[in-house]
Structure 1
């Protein structure tokens, strides 16, 4: 009659129903005699060290604590093997080595194990004859131990009749030998066989079967987070960086034997209690290295994921941006636990190479070459314990990034809202951030930037995408937690990017501008600064930020300074254009494009309304006057608007399809509130631009539709489809 197997939850990801020693390992762990590792692996195939064996036997036999004695050169008073070494030496189990060392880090061989177990359990020679095919290979000092261990059936040798005395004992085998010895000695009661409940895995979860160094990262109180690698990692710096709307807890780890290789874990705490985790493996050395971020969570009831790739992505090659190899994050992991329902947005890993081009004037342009994007997240659910692994693999001379956003609540209140975001992100993949870092998101850059790698995979921090305009609109419409979190992160990324300056300078050189005006990064792009100022202004109002108008004032002041510096193109003393770009390292006037011009004027009008300083209205009026003077020159014969006006007064270029009409509507609104007479030129230009779009059936954006409705000009809505993003 067979004993009924006991059904239990699997304790270790690498000790499953298929593992031959699962019963012995499980019972010894339950008895507190042997332990697994912090990442919930047992690693049965890892060779056991003499020091580890000494500690295990001390626990198994409950040996009395022995005082420290300077007997062994490799066992100090602070050694983690002190108790095991002293207690087993005093009990006559381990005798040390001829060279004066205990050999705590030496692998325990099978013949040494035999002698140790015979000594530990005081096993006697039964007189039974024992034979191994490799008897002559057994050391003289261990032949007695091997023979007695065989006589007692604790070892049976190898299938081929050998004992393999010099072979190392692994953790699985040692557990079996120790278990058998303890059963024979009556120190353990033989239990029924066990069967593990079925586990659930997600992604390509694969336990690491060799020794690892594991160090805890104090990210949360609910679960444990570790860094794991085959290289020793040590905390080299810990700091807290407080931003206006988030707090970064930064942990920097050095890698043993690698002077410059570092792992940085940044936890960005948001005002609502959610947090981003950014992990960066920076490896300027040629040798590859793998580092895993491992998270252990308990009390898990269900574990499901909604993947981005359930909606197919259709990519194309853009003449401006080339081909973007980045796709989307992995998806949203939903966890139901004892604490409730939480969600986590999980990214892929991004392996890149930093590029830098230095110029004679001391300026620098920085980009990255994205070498590959991979899905490396995986987890295993064993009972109610979940092990999540975020894998970072460096091939050398690269940087590897990974991020996730965690909330103990739902990021999306419904599946429909979540699907809507997944679908939109896939459809508009060029304008939706996916590769986030603690310094901001990286996106495919235009092919007209430098340094541009030969692969064409040039990525950088595009200020227009650091701010999250579309997310702001969706947050105002839905108040979804995910959008709230992304906005908090965006506010912080903008602060990080700006640094100590009151405005934003680009960090990437545009060869288009270099060829036109011979200047490089850094430079101020007026459109970028205008849109960031508006984003922070509107976002600050939505979240009740005290500094909501700081960016607005700073940028309006910067525009006013250009007039005072003479960095404008005058039509008359009271009518002038502000150039699109302000180079930091050279004095040159650039062209003025209509969308930049309107954006700057609109900022000055908003600043006048906000701060009631007449200098803002004075400069806005000068821009309106210049546009009015040259209205007919700006308007093309087909009703469209020229893209730009050169400093010499020449008009050229094809205007954006929708963007300028959005700006014209806003300009009309602002002047209507301040001085109705100055709104008329923009009314005429709205009619001209909208008429052109209507005749060409190029459609409209949601902003255009809503804007025309606000100014009672819905009859001008162009024919064609509606777009969420301006073309």
Structure 2
């Protein structure tokens, strides 16, 4: 029995061993010898020369381009072939000699050209050049490979049908390649000696030669892992020019194009809140066609990257910004499109056809989690009207596109931002990058995305290095027939909502938006003391005959307040200067005669100051309150009584005409014309916010002046309540501060004033 049991155990063991061997052989034959990460984005499991290319790449004999493409169907040049052969043969570096006119000491083909020339693998051309950029022909390839590996003629004739077309100096080499089975020629029996060799063909010929000569051991087929992609990632099949941008150590950044790019300007510009590195390239030798990349480094080490392709010519141009990063463990794009955008077509403004950014890309590596907010590409056309006293600028919006795509192969990510000009246009794209999280939680991220979708008209999505572009009213010039005029709106550029949210949450994303806003406002103002509009309002032009540039008092007031808040939030020592400058501007209007006076010591200051024309314009309640509030803040901060005197003059004028300002329905008239007429429907919420601020400011300075503002608050809030117009968060919090919460109007709460 024991012997029988022993025999059974032996049989079972042999059977099990047989099964394991069979399974192992099946795994090799069925699934390939090894699983390997894809190395090149255009060499996958379906590619016919995958194994040859991958083995040579693994051995360090061949390499791809900086964008991790191999470009198998691109023609290989003599310079590229020389470099590859020098690597395959492990040829030593050869000192530079001025032998070839197209090979300098800085040439990327120096080693290959000099080493293969010394080894008599390649000879120079009759004109003294090596021909580094010349396509390598099939017969030249034959001679180079035979010489490189010292292949001997076995005496067998080749028998190619086009043998008489093979150059006399290459015939023997072509014959030898066939003798060794390295080539069998074309299907029709020809060799096709004058045709150029593709990179894939060269890799296969070289691989076969190295196997035949024993320089390389043949290995089993590999199976490549499937890469991860985001967006419609596509390989660019033809050879490109690559220019590396020295933008820091976070990742490698290139410009990729089949156009000739030439650096024409490189400069660094320091701002109070950030530093710009700017690189501008001409395209195809035309200085009018430019590609500009600006890296805006923020104080917290985050940065914006702005790209602009400016093409006033008619020829279409594509230039890609390419980023490559290593040690990627995982990445995921959270799209803004998961929230539906609320679209409104408003009177005077029309439809804003832009939507929202692409999304937030989160990247995980071994040591950190980083995030990038990626914007779309915006294609537009510059519009300009010149006047005797200045000019007006807008852009006609043409298209918004998602130009981002990426691929992760192993631990390497290649990101592509494809900027496409159709001709006679400007193409912009932007991203915000942080080495940490822009949003501390997914909830904070989603809160912003959701808010953005609901209020996209009041949120910036088209950023450039010179400021954000947003939809302008249809009452501006120049304006295209399409009505799609976009410009740099100062109220949008100051990022009020980001300031509000930063003060609430301290999120890094809002901090970055604010630093960028500080720079943009500084760039917009330039050498001027105040912010002057660059767009003409046809409404004001028709009323008063003036054009851009002009000073909009509300814009300057709002910017002064924004920068004053920045002083508290970011401890900027110069933040109060905008407040002082604007208060001084308001004070100076009485002496200039630019006022609408009611009696001594009681006057309004007009809403707009034409820079080069003398015109007195109307006064609107919201502008008067805004200016008065600035003067009171300046008085409280600097103690100069001239600010209080001017604020008191405005208060007296409002008090004298209080009943005239209030409409029969309790609302406020929008404006008072220079001849004393009241007209126009007031903003829904904005003026109530201003009235609350005015009440608070006078309460802190002179309580005796508060009654008129209390009565106007009651009237305006009553109108909103009766008509269920709702309220803003600012109105709700303001009424609470002044103990008037009982006046909170019926209706829904709004984030932004209507």
Distance 1:598 1:281 in 2: 43
Structure 2 regions of 5+ residues with no counterpart?
1-24
SS of the equivalent of 2:388 reads: coil
Distance 1:389 1:297 in 2: 12
Deviation of 1:22 after TM superposition, in Å, equals: 1.9
SS of the equivalent of 1:352 reads: strand
In structure 2, do the counterparts of structure 1 residues 223 and 70 end up closer, same or farther at CA, with 3 Å as the change threshold?
Answer: closer
Distance 2:733 2:684 in 1: 17
Distance 1:325 1:66 in 2: 61
Return the TM-score normalized by structure 1. Answer: 0.97
1:312-351 to 2 correspondence within 5 Å?
312-351=340-379
1:306 and 2:334 matched = yes
1:486-501 to 2 correspondence within 5 Å?
486-501=513-528
1:110 and 2:114 matched = no
1:636 and 2:669 matched = no
1:167 and 2:195 matched = yes
2:19 matched residue in structure 1:
none
1:578 and 2:605 matched = yes
Which segment drifts farther, 85-94 or 320-329? 85-94
Deviation of 1:238 after TM superposition, in Å, equals: 1.7
Distance 2:241 2:101 in 1: 24
1:644-683 to 2 correspondence within 5 Å?
644-683=671-710
Which segment drifts farther, 442-451 or 498-507? 498-507
2:446 matched residue in structure 1:
419
The RMSD of aligned alpha carbons is 1.6
Query: Are the equivalent residues in 1 in contact too, given 2:342–2:456 (CA < 8 A)?
Result: no
1:72-111 to 2 correspondence within 5 Å?
72-76=100-104, 79-111=107-139
1:212 matched residue in structure 2:
240
Which segment drifts farther, 554-563 or 76-85? 76-85
1:443 and 2:473 matched = no
1:222 and 2:250 matched = yes
Give CA deviations for 1:97-119 in whole Å, capped at 9, x if unaligned.
44554322211111211122112
Which segment drifts farther, 81-90 or 712-721? 81-90
1:381 matched residue in structure 2:
408
Deviation of 1:609 after TM superposition, in Å, equals: 0.4
Distance 2:299 2:199 in 1: 46
Give CA deviations for 1:432-489 in whole Å, capped at 9, x if unaligned.
1000001100001000000001111100000110011111111111111111111111
Distance 2:444 2:96 in 1: 64
Give CA deviations for 1:22-61 in whole Å, capped at 9, x if unaligned.
2222222222222211111111111111122122222222
1:452 matched residue in structure 2:
479
In structure 2, do the counterparts of structure 1 residues 70 and 418 end up closer, same or farther at CA, with 3 Å as the change threshold?
Answer: closer
1:526-565 to 2 correspondence within 5 Å?
526-565=553-592
2:87 matched residue in structure 1:
59
Which segment drifts farther, 634-643 or 315-324? 315-324
Which segment drifts farther, 314-323 or 341-350? 314-323
Deviation of 1:67 after TM superposition, in Å, equals: 5.2
1:289 and 2:317 matched = yes
Distance 2:459 2:113 in 1: 59
Alignment partner of 1:517 out of 498, 520, 544: 544
Which segment drifts farther, 380-389 or 536-545? 536-545
Distance 2:478 2:611 in 1: 19
Distance 2:187 2:344 in 1: 60
2:278 matched residue in structure 1:
250
1:16-165 to 2 correspondence within 5 Å?
16-66=44-94, 72-76=100-104, 79-165=107-193
1:7 matched residue in structure 2:
35
In structure 2, do the counterparts of structure 1 residues 609 and 73 end up closer, same or farther at CA, with 3 Å as the change threshold?
Answer: closer
Which segment drifts farther, 622-631 or 74-83? 74-83
1:259-298 to 2 correspondence within 5 Å?
259-298=287-326
Deviation of 1:191 after TM superposition, in Å, equals: 2.1
SS of the equivalent of 1:488 reads: helix
1:723 and 2:750 matched = yes
Distance 1:50 1:351 in 2: 40
Deviation of 1:158 after TM superposition, in Å, equals: 2.2
Deviation of 1:6 after TM superposition, in Å, equals: 1.7
Distance 2:430 2:412 in 1: 22
Distance 1:367 1:77 in 2: 49
Give CA deviations for 1:493-515 in whole Å, capped at 9, x if unaligned.
11111112221111000000000
Distance 1:517 1:329 in 2: 39
Give CA deviations for 1:611-642 in whole Å, capped at 9, x if unaligned.
01000000000000000011011111111111
Distance 1:85 1:668 in 2: 81
1:466 matched residue in structure 2:
493
SS of the equivalent of 1:239 reads: strand
2:433 matched residue in structure 1:
406
Distance 1:479 1:261 in 2: 41
SS of the equivalent of 2:170 reads: helix
SS of the equivalent of 2:397 reads: strand
SS of the equivalent of 2:706 reads: helix
SS of the equivalent of 1:389 reads: strand
Deviation of 1:167 after TM superposition, in Å, equals: 1.5
Distance 2:692 2:114 in 1: 84
Structure 1 regions of 5+ residues with no counterpart?
none
In structure 2, do the counterparts of structure 1 residues 566 and 226 end up closer, same or farther at CA, with 3 Å as the change threshold?
Answer: same
Deviation of 1:128 after TM superposition, in Å, equals: 3.0
SS of the equivalent of 2:290 reads: strand
Which segment drifts farther, 364-373 or 277-286? 277-286
Which segment drifts farther, 493-502 or 598-607? 493-502
Give CA deviations for 1:230-278 in whole Å, capped at 9, x if unaligned.
1122322221111111111112222232222111111111111111111
In structure 2, do the counterparts of structure 1 residues 31 and 451 end up closer, same or farther at CA, with 3 Å as the change threshold?
Answer: same
SS of the equivalent of 1:37 reads: coil
In structure 2, do the counterparts of structure 1 residues 682 and 69 end up closer, same or farther at CA, with 3 Å as the change threshold?
Answer: closer
Query: Are the equivalent residues in 1 in contact too, given 2:342–2:455 (CA < 8 A)?
Result: no
Distance 1:143 1:222 in 2: 52
Distance 1:20 1:588 in 2: 76
Deviation of 1:319 after TM superposition, in Å, equals: 2.2
1:467-486 to 2 correspondence within 5 Å?
467-486=494-513
SS of the equivalent of 2:269 reads: strand
Distance 1:9 1:80 in 2: 28
1:620 matched residue in structure 2:
647
Distance 2:332 2:90 in 1: 44
SS of the equivalent of 2:467 reads: coil
Which segment drifts farther, 5-14 or 252-261? 252-261
2:531 matched residue in structure 1:
504
Distance 2:91 2:368 in 1: 45
Deviation of 1:329 after TM superposition, in Å, equals: 0.4
Alignment partner of 2:615 out of 569, 583, 588: 588
Which segment drifts farther, 290-299 or 159-168? 159-168
Which segment drifts farther, 22-31 or 375-384? 22-31
Distance 1:68 1:689 in 2: 84
Deviation of 1:224 after TM superposition, in Å, equals: 0.6
Return the TM-score normalized by structure 2. Answer: 0.94
Distance 2:459 2:401 in 1: 18
Distance 2:680 2:106 in 1: 75
Distance 1:700 1:182 in 2: 79
Give CA deviations for 1:80-136 in whole Å, capped at 9, x if unaligned.
434433332332322334455432221111121112211221212223343233333
SS of the equivalent of 2:288 reads: strand
Give CA deviations for 1:393-413 in whole Å, capped at 9, x if unaligned.
111221111000001111111
Which segment drifts farther, 248-257 or 343-352? 248-257
- Equivalenced residue count is 726
